[in-house]
Amino acid sequence: MTPAKTSASRTKKPAAKKPSPSRTDDSTLDLVMRLMAVPGRSGEESQVAALIQDELRRAGADMSQVRTDDTPKRSPLGGEIGNLTFQLPGTAKAPRRLLVAHMDAVPLCVGSRPVRKGKLVQSADKSTGLAADNRAGCAAILSAALAILKHKLPHPPLTFLWCVQEEVGLFGARHGDLSLLGKPKLAFNWDGGPAEKLTIGATGAFRMKINVEGLASHAGGAPEKGISAVTIAALAIADLQNAGWLGLIEKDGIRGTSNVGVVTGGAATNVVTDYLELRAECRAHDAKFRKRILDAFRAAFEKAAASVTNHEGVAGKIKFESRQDYESFALRSDEPCVVEAERAVRAVGLNPVRAISNGGLDANWLSARGIPTVTLGCGQQNVHTTSERLDIPAFEYACRIALKLTAPDADA
Ligand SMILES: [Zn+2]
């Protein structure tokens, strides 16, 4: 084939330069820098919402279309504010599009002081995270809304949704008031790294709380009268580890994960510990397999509790509570939101990459509640750590992709 090409080479036009992401002006970078500096851990997002509302007001938004819902009434965490929504009627008849990003950041990000370093942004305070997760997503969808308002761009019916409490259990997406969204047909969520990465499915997860009850006694004077909750927990965890139910789990070709993350209890070395509380989680794409992991945990703790007895033959007890954090989902490849997202990624000169996540996303609950949602990256790196960074070019691509998805004819 080459020769044919060669012939063309004489008149070969110089290779099309990869379009640089900097079609966005500096205001988007300024916007995300200001958003990342605002404290807003889960349940305390009101300052973030206030900044977003302020920007919309100054851009001329109809503030009667900017509302917060009553998620705190239904969330186990409560919270100072609900999800923030902004609805725009379309300038053309078309299926409504929903753009989503969560406002909360993990506690490590409170006190973030964003500074630019070349193509990256990081926190000047080395003891904090940056809050790129997920102020970058908040800024990407806000920048699209502001561009439409400022430049009066033609657009389909649009809803912008800034969720609360994503980091603690996806509570905004799970308990949010869907009636404020205006029945969207296509939904796009921003959260994650590379702008061209499309997350079209994610795992499902259970959260467990295990209370181990033993019997206190003097550890020196009468240990045989006690029932050690610590021993029970240790036996159960060892049993799970030996049976391959901890960490990365692979059985019959199916994969999952589990972790015992928090253990609290015990007050003194000279007392046989009578109570421990453990918090654990398990994840798997396969719902049946996820249930199997859960059952293995319950069985291991029940067996261990029954095996630890005192001198009177009294055994320990456990109280096992579990709650589904989110259901797994997998979007079809011809799902309209996936097709549109890929079109927008290509339109800005990138190649879409499909991915499945092993973590929970607001998209899990939105999809489970009937709004198929694809998730796109927005430049986050090393999230939930003190070395969190924002990749500026990836963020700027995310802003352009968001604009392409809200104003398809705009030169994004
Ligand atoms: Zn996030």
- What is the tens place of the pLDDT at every residue in 111-131? 999 999 999 999 999 999 999
The arithmetic mean of pLDDT across residues 37-56, rounded, is 98
Measure 46 CA to ligand 1 centroid, in angstroms. Answer: 17
Residue 4 has pLDDT above 70, yes or no: no
Binning pLDDT at 50, 70 and 90, where does residue 5 land?
A: very low
Tell me the pLDDT tens digit for each residue of 384-396: 999 999 999 999 9
Tell me the pLDDT tens digit for each residue of 50-88: 999 999 999 999 999 999 999 999 999 999 999 999 999
Measure 167 CA to ligand 1 centroid, in angstroms. Answer: 7
What percent of the chain lies above the pLDDT cut of 90? Answer: 91
Measure 124 CA to ligand 1 centroid, in angstroms. Answer: 21
Binning pLDDT at 50, 70 and 90, where does residue 25 land?
A: low
Tell me the pLDDT tens digit for each residue of 239-249: 999 999 999 99
CA dihedral 56, 61, 64, 65 (to 10 degrees): -80
**Burial class (CB within 10 angstroms; exposed 0-12, middle 13-18, buried 19+) of 220:** exposed
The arithmetic mean of pLDDT across residues 209-238, rounded, is 97
Measure 395 CA to ligand 1 centroid, in angstroms. Answer: 14
Averaged pLDDT score across all residues of the chain: 94
Measure 220 CA to ligand 1 centroid, in angstroms. Answer: 49
Measure 301 CA to ligand 1 centroid, in angstroms. Answer: 33
Q: Which residues of 380-399 are buried (b: 16+ CB within 10 A; e: fewer)?
A: bbebeeeebbbbbebbbbbb
The neighbourhood of ligand 1, an ion, using CB within 5 A, equals 133-134, 191
Q: Which residues of 28-43 are buried (b: 16+ CB within 10 A; e: fewer)?
A: bbebbbebbbbebbbb
Per-residue pLDDT, 168: 94
Measure 169 CA to ligand 1 centroid, in angstroms. Answer: 11
Residue 17 has pLDDT above 80, yes or no: no
Binning pLDDT at 50, 70 and 90, where does residue 175 land?
A: very high
Measure 374 CA to ligand 1 centroid, in angstroms. Answer: 14
Rounded CA separation 380/44 (Å):
21
For 336, phi and psi rounded to 5 degrees?
-50, -40
The arithmetic mean of pLDDT across residues 267-296, rounded, is 96
Measure 130 CA to ligand 1 centroid, in angstroms. Answer: 12
Measure 18 CA to ligand 1 centroid, in angstroms. Answer: 29
What percent of the chain lies above the pLDDT cut of 70? Answer: 94
Measure 274 CA to ligand 1 centroid, in angstroms. Answer: 38
Tokens 């995300």 locate to: 32
Binning pLDDT at 50, 70 and 90, where does residue 408 land?
A: confident
Measure 7 CA to ligand 1 centroid, in angstroms. Answer: 51
Ordered by where they begin, the domains of the chain are 6-203+328-406 (3.40.630.10), 204-325 (3.30.70.360)
Binning pLDDT at 50, 70 and 90, where does residue 409 land?
A: confident
Binning pLDDT at 50, 70 and 90, where does residue 9 land?
A: very low
Residue 12 has pLDDT above 80, yes or no: no
Which is more confidently placed, 4 or 141?
141
The arithmetic mean of pLDDT across residues 354-373, rounded, is 95
Is the CB of residue 152 less than 8 Å from the CB of residue 146?
no
